Amino acid sequence: MSDAQTQIDETVKAHDVVLFMKGTKSMPQCGFSSRVAGVLNYMGVEYTDVNVLADEAIRSGIKEYSDWPTIPQLYVKGEFIGGCDIVTEMTLSGELDALFEKNGVAYSKEAADKIREANA
């Protein structure tokens, strides 16, 4: 494993929820990252954000690590969940709620329900 791969692996395993994104959770730098961070922020999920724009080795390394070509990438309890489209679908279907509940990740069920109501 390269240094970047080792760093990514340690980050993913050290935190319950990790979002590799362009920008930060308070200042996303692309629409897809903004959407996923927005969902997590709105639902009150505690998560670690990793700005891939700050480190080219991490930016390319995360794509190899997950074997997934795009960013953002969401990890829960060390497991790769997906990118923007998958997280959006999971939020709207309630699968993200179930995933958080199964893994003991705190979130606002009320906020998740509001997202679904607004997108019904």
Supply the range of the domain harboring residue 64.
3-118
Q: Which CA distances in Å does 51 have to 6, 37, 58?
A: 16, 12, 9
pLDDT, position 120: 86
pLDDT, position 2: 80
pLDDT tens for the 120 residues of the chain, in order = 789 999 999 999 999 999 999 999 999 999 999 999 999 999 999 999 999 999 999 999 999 999 999 999 999 999 999 999 999 999 999 999 999 999 999 999 999 999 999 998
CATH number where 100 lies: 3.40.30.10
* Count of structural domains, the chain: 1
pLDDT, position 101: 97
pLDDT, position 4: 93
Q: How much is the pTM? A: 0.96
Phi/psi of residue 98, nearest 5 degrees? -60, -40
Please tell me whether 30 is known to bind a ligand. Answer: yes
DSSP calls for 5-46: HHHHHHHHHHSSEEEEESB-SSSBSSHHHHHHHHHHHHTT--
